[in-house]
Amino acid sequence: MMTIAAVDDEPLALQLITRYIEETPELSLLGKFKNPLDAAVFLKENSVDILLLDIQMPELNGIEFARQMARGPKVIFTTAYKKYAIEGFKLEIVDYLVKPFSYQDFHKAIQRAKKIINLEKKSYENIGSNNEFLYLKSNYKIKRLKFNDIQYIEGFNDYVRIHALSYPEPIQSQITLKVLEAKLPAGKFMRIHRSFIVNLHMVDTIDRGRIVFGRVYIPIGDQYKEKFEDYLKKNFL
């Protein structure tokens, strides 16, 4: 059973979403809100697996709402506007449903969220770490990776490629970048793009907004630029 909450300032839209949730046996509705500020208060005290979130709302729009959640529920945007899709996926939302959407579309989005949730739960079971190294499953083997050996990590939909100096080929593991990020020492690693985490101690060259590792150029995403620039300022002579 997955827990879910919905936020939409349109009563008819919220009523339809509620009906869709009630028709889905694997979902348990914990809260529905017309006011996003009420939802924000609720989520500070309660944990849900999935959040259905409208975008155009008074006081706090859905984009800002999702941006303020550091590690919260899986977000599915439900909106009448297609123009926010790119911004939504930059925030790593699960899906983007354009109103009016059918139950079939709703159910597909829920299944996509379910797959990611189950994968992350499985990943937490398969990974162990400390301050110097971590154990990670890769190709039916368990590999020990020293943090000081990891140069950068490349994320895809449901797996990562870890580029380490001691291995001639990237180490691939079925785990999301978000889950792995939570296990890495924050002072040593930083996410600088939705698809990349870098070892800060190995960053030697920055060229026109890109981190250079040999022949590899890693872009610094707009969403992560401010944090990375703060790091540079603290270490700049």
Domain ranges of the chain: 2-124, 128-234
- Give pLDDT tens digits for 17-38: 999 999 999 999 999 999 989 9
Regions in the chain scoring below 50 on pLDDT: none
Q: Under CATH, which architecture does the 2-124 domain have?
A: 3-Layer(aba) Sandwich (3.40)
User: 128-234, what's its fold?
Assistant: OB fold (Dihydrolipoamide Acetyltransferase, E2P) (2.40.50)
2-124 against 128-234: fold identical: no
- Burial class of residue 235 in the structure, from the number of CB atoms within 10 Å of its CB (0-12 exposed, 13-18 middle, 19+ buried): exposed
* pLDDT at residue 45, as a whole number: 81
Neighbours of 5 (CB within 10 A): 22
φ/ψ (deg, to 5) at 207: -130, 110
Q: What is the pLDDT of residue 189?
A: 94
**What's residue 175's pLDDT?**
85
Element (H, E) at 138: strand 133-138
What pLDDT shows up at residue 157?
75
Q: How do residues 38-63 score in pLDDT, each as one tens digit?
A: 998 898 888 899 999 999 887 778 88
Interatomic CA distance for residues 201 and 192, integer angstroms: 14
The most distant pair of C-alpha atoms in the chain lies apart, rounded to whole Å, by 61
pLDDT given for residue 123 in this prediction = 59
Q: What is the pTM of this model?
A: 0.58
